[in-house]
């Protein structure tokens, strides 16, 4: 196999694998509907990118890799099948790479990108391969090849592709109902995580502050526990405090005090995310002072509390789109921001808004003001019978409104000159809006 074609190559998961395969000496090509920062970066590596999908693009390919968004009917997919070219999903390629090395798979409904990015940053000194779902500032990319035989990757439960993995070690940050358009029920999600645990060969480091995680671990001998609230856990973060806008805390492992750590991103949820990172980095021989320094400098993966502008007014871009993520992000912001906090939220998918509507109750409590944008459909049709007005009613926030015009939001933010933190939240096009506003502020 020499030539690999990626359909949907600019996706954050696809582009990372394309980079790894290119670094391993394969001829890599791919296609996507439009250009992005990812296509520019891939072309700089010598990867040929086709804008638009055309069946002729896959001619001569030995293997075709498709993103989960690519279905039957795509001309490149159909041509590959017709010509007898092997077609696999992104998750299958990730598994082919990880399963032959000492893999560390990071799973969970929330926090897996931050945790896998943090783990990669903490373990850079041992030269791991890294493939995550966000841009890690420490490597300036979402992927890098390594020579140690350690492979750190984000494990995606949204379409059950994490079940292709047979990693040596795993982290489970939490389990909640999400992506029900794929899973159908929470019970199916739970069964998938149980199977993921069974497939992990050596050790599973799990967050027992999460009731749903604690419910499924039983007496599994492969499980190592961590937590903030659960003092009986093997890895415990305690004495949480904020100093100079930074999260500070003490870490105990097996009852032994490892010391104080300072984390460069806000929120108790991120302190929790750091606990398995500290444990596994130590286990793989990283010096504790290197870990401490990496966490202190860690500013999060791109789109995880990503500060775009900070001159009186602060503009933050964050991927939070599930109610639990929104609540945690706002709580973290409240703990470190002295400014008034304005949350600008773009709901993601009509199906998610419908299935999780009641969970939005009280999630915006950490914001002084909330602006709700129209739903980012992600290809779905508006046929789930849920409205933005329903969201306003459920939220029970006293200062919340709908704004359908992006230009009005731009003008609203740019017209302010007082101390306000604007927190743009969502998994859709709101990130581009946040960047436009930040550029406008810079003049």
Query: Is residue 154 among the annotated active site residues?
Result: yes
Query: Is residue 297 among the annotated active site residues?
Result: no
Return the DSSP state at 375: P
Query: Is residue 89 among the annotated active site residues?
Result: no
Q: In what order do the strands lie in the sheet with 223-227?
A: 141-144, 129-136, 150-154, 102-107, 169-172, 203-207, 223-227, 235-243, 246-253, 256-263
Cα separations (Å) of 123 from 6, 230, 424? 29, 26, 30
Looking up tokens 């690519």, which residue turns up?
70
Residue 108 marked in a binding site: yes
For residue 143, how far is the Cα from the chain centroid? 14
Pairing of the two strands 246-253 and 256-263: antiparallel
Residue 110 marked in a binding site: yes
Residue 324 marked in a binding site: no
Residue 129 marked in a binding site: no
Question: CA 377, CA 208: separation in Å to the nearest integer?
Answer: 34
For residue 406, how far is the Cα from the chain centroid? 25
Residue 120 marked in a binding site: no
Residue 200 marked in a binding site: no
Looking up tokens 């933190």, which residue turns up?
421
Helix pair angle (12-23, 37-44), 10° resolution: 0
Cα separations (Å) of 337 from 34, 241, 342? 37, 14, 11
For residue 213, give both structure tokens: 């995680």
Among 429, 431, 368, CA closest to 400: 368
Cα–Cα–Cα angle for 333, 339, 342, rounded to 5 degrees: 70
Among 271, 393, 289, CA closest to 332: 271
End-to-end CA distance of the chain: 50
Looking up tokens 């890895």, which residue turns up?
235
Determine which one of 76, 154, 176, 337 is catalytic.
Answer: 154
Question: CA 441, CA 270: separation in Å to the nearest integer?
Answer: 29
Residue 84 marked in a binding site: no
What 3-state class would DSSP assign to 180?
helix
Determine which one of 41, 76, 113, 157 is catalytic.
Answer: 113
**CB-based contact 248:241 (threshold 8 Å):** yes
Determine which one of 41, 76, 102, 112 is catalytic.
Answer: 112
Annotated binding site: 108-114
Annotated binding site for ATP: 108-114
Q: Please list the active-site residues.
A: 112-113, 154
């Amino acid at each position: 196999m020499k030539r690999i074609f990626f359909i949907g190559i600019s996706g954050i998961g696809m582009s990372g694998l394309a980079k790894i395969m290119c670094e391993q000496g394969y001829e890599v090509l791919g296609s996507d509907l439009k250009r992005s920062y990812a296509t520019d970066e891939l072309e700089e590596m010598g990867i040929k990118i086709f804008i638009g999908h055309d069946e002729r693009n896959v001619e001569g390919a030995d293997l075709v890799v498709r993103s989960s968004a690519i279905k039957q009917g795509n001309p490149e997919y159909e041509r590959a099948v017709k010509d007898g070219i092997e077609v696999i999903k992104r998750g299958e390629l990730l598994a082919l790479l990880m399963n032959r090395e000492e893999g560390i798979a990071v799973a969970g409904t929330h926090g897996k990108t931050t945790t896998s990015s943090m783990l990669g940053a903490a373990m850079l000194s041992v030269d791991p391969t890294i493939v995550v779902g966000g841009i890690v500032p420490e490597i300036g990319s979402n992927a890098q090849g390594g020579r140690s035989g350690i492979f750190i990757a984000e494990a995606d439960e949204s379409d059950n592709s994490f079940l292709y993995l047979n990693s040596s070690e795993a982290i489970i940050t939490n389990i909640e109902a999400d992506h029900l358009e794929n899973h159908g029920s929470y019970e199916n999600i739970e069964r998938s995580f149980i199977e993921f645990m069974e497939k992990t060969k050596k050790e599973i480091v799990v967050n027992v502050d999460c009731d749903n995680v604690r419910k499924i671990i039983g007496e599994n001998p492969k499980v190592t526990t961590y937590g903030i609230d659960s003092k009986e856990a093997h890895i415990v973060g305690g004495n949480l405090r904020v100093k100079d806008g930074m999260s500070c805390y003490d870490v105990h492992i097996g009852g032994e005090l490892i010391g104080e750590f300072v984390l460069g991103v806000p929120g108790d949820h991120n302190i929790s995310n750091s606990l398995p990172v500290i444990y596994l980095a130590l286990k793989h021989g990283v010096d504790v002072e290197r870990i401490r320094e990496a966490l202190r400098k860690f500013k999060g993966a791109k789109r995880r509390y990503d500060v775009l502008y900070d001159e009186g007014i602060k503009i933050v871009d964050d991927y939070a789109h599930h109610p639990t993520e929104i609540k945690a992000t706002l709580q973290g912001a409240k703990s470190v921001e002295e400014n008034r906090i304005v949350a600008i939220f773009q709901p993601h998918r009509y199906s998610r808004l419908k299935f999780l509507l009641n969970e939005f109750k009280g999630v915006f409590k950490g914001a002084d003001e909330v602006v709700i944008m129209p739903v980012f459909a992600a290809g779905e049709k508006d046929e789930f019978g849920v409205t933005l007005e329903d969201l306003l009613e459920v939220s029970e926030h006293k200062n919340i409104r709908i704004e359908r015009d992006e230009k009005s939001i731009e003008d609203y933010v740019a017209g302010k000159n007082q101390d306000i933190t604007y927190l743009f939240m969502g998994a859709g096009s709101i990130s581009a809006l946040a960047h436009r506003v930040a550029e406008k502020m810079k003049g």
